[in-house]
A and B are shown apart, each in its own frame.
Chain A
Amino acid sequence: MGFPTMKTVAERTKTIESLHRRYAGVIFDLCVRILKDSAEAEDAVQETFFSAFRALDSFTYGDSHLPWLYRIGTNVCLKMIRTKKRKGAQLSDNIEATAAAEPENLTGRLSIRAQLQSLMEKLDERNVQILTYHYVAGMNQQEVADMLGISRRAVVKRLTKLKEIAVQHALEDHHD
């Protein structure tokens, strides 16, 4: 018997150190956009690479590790937000900022933040991911599709549905 476990772990450690050196800064950019807090974002970056170390064997994103790290980083941040029960508050801040800069504003003149705070609590995990990738991480529809392993058409469909839900929520609250 040799020392395969040790060598494998040493190689994995080296890989993660290398990935951290190259990509940690842009993962921080992602995390700080989702969490809106530098200190928490730094924690999230650590957690991202820590999780990556454990999941390195499952890396299946072709040549680049960046989309894979983005996915892990997004999940880490969403988990942190869920843990602290601030999902709506933080995410909607970012979604509002991103959506406002887009030609097709998510809910027009309605208060996006107010609607999304309640909306986020009601969405399933996959829809939260789609919103985060698109509106916070700033991915286009094709990039979201690649990230989730689904078709672009499916992403478009989901985003359209989510916009409808958001508008509906906004109208309901407006009438209330």
Chain B
Amino acid sequence: MTECFSRFTLVRFHKKDLTDETHQRIQTHLDECSRCRDVLGEIQTNDAAYNRNATAHSKRLMEALASEIQSENAADSNSAVSKVVAISSRKTKKNVYILIPLAAAAALTLALYFLPYFKSAPLDEITYKGGFSAGIIAKRADEQFTVRPNDVLRENDALRFRIQTSGAGYLYIMNIAANGEITGLCPFDAPLNSPGYLVDAAGEHVLDESVVLDNSIGTEQIVFVFHSQPLSIDLIQKHADDIIKQKTLPLKLRGGHIQFIQFEKK
């Protein structure tokens, strides 16, 4: 009989993590070694025991990741963010109002950074509180410009979305057409249970994908939802009516930010 294999090797055998040759060699050994068979049986038992609740474990892992992202969000908010203007749902978060010299300096820097994009916007249209702001870049023929609230846009204008966050989280973007129809724009072509775009770090991000406007006319809105938790698109859409009416996040979605940008289509 050949020499026994280590437990770790048997783990790799069990997970088919070895070359065919080694796998075959171990298989041959197992046929004649009860000790190694016992060890392998124990490994298989523990593997199976854990995987009996595989779905729950996987879900818990994803929640833990989201929770960590949320913590990083909070840490970033405490260090570098202050209120500029807001229609955010996080009105009860007191920590963002703590003014320390560092936070003030960081906020001033960020405010100055965004001034070129939003300087003409009404205060109630732009959110930058506790770490999130959004904007739209439009491209018309060779011209490119930042969409201001109530700007006039036309058929075939291509829109791209820009966000700035002070931490990580999940992003959803919806379009509300003049007839009230809601269309999910981000994540693009994702299944309904998708957790949305995961933004893993603070900073400015511009989506690669663009949206081309059709020939409908009227007042439309783009809604940005940024949340620390991996909400599904399905859940966002279920709450879409409340989000639109209240212009704030419903109770179940607290812990995130929302921003509307309205424009006219002619």
Contacts and interface: CB of A to CB of B under 8 A. Distances in A.
Interface of A: 1-3, 5-6, 8-10, 13, 16-17, 20-26, 28-30, 32, 38, 42, 45-46, 49-50, 53, 64, 66, 70, 137-140, 143
A8 B200 CA distance: 9
A66 B12 contact: yes
B14 interface: yes
Interface of B: 6-12, 14-15, 17, 39, 42-43, 46-51, 54, 57-58, 60-62, 64-65, 68, 171, 197-201, 203-208
Nearest to B39: A138
Contact of A140 (B8, B50, B204): B8
A22 B14 CA distance: 11
B17 A64 contact: yes
Which of B11, B15, B204: most chain A CB closer than 10 A? Answer: B11
Contacts, number: 108
Contacts of A66: 11-12, 15, 17
Contacts of B49: 25, 28, 38
A21 B50 CA distance: 10
Given A1-B204, A9-B199, A9-B200, 18 more contacts: A3-B206, A3-B208, A5-B201, A5-B203, A8-B200, A10-B198, A13-B198, A17-B61, A20-B58, A24-B51, A26-B43, A26-B46, A29-B42, A29-B47, A45-B50, A138-B8, A138-B10, A139-B8
| Interface of chain A, main secondary structure | helix
Contact of B54 (A10, A21, A138): A21
Contacts of A3: 197, 205-208
A141 B6 CA distance: 9
A8 B168 CA distance: 13
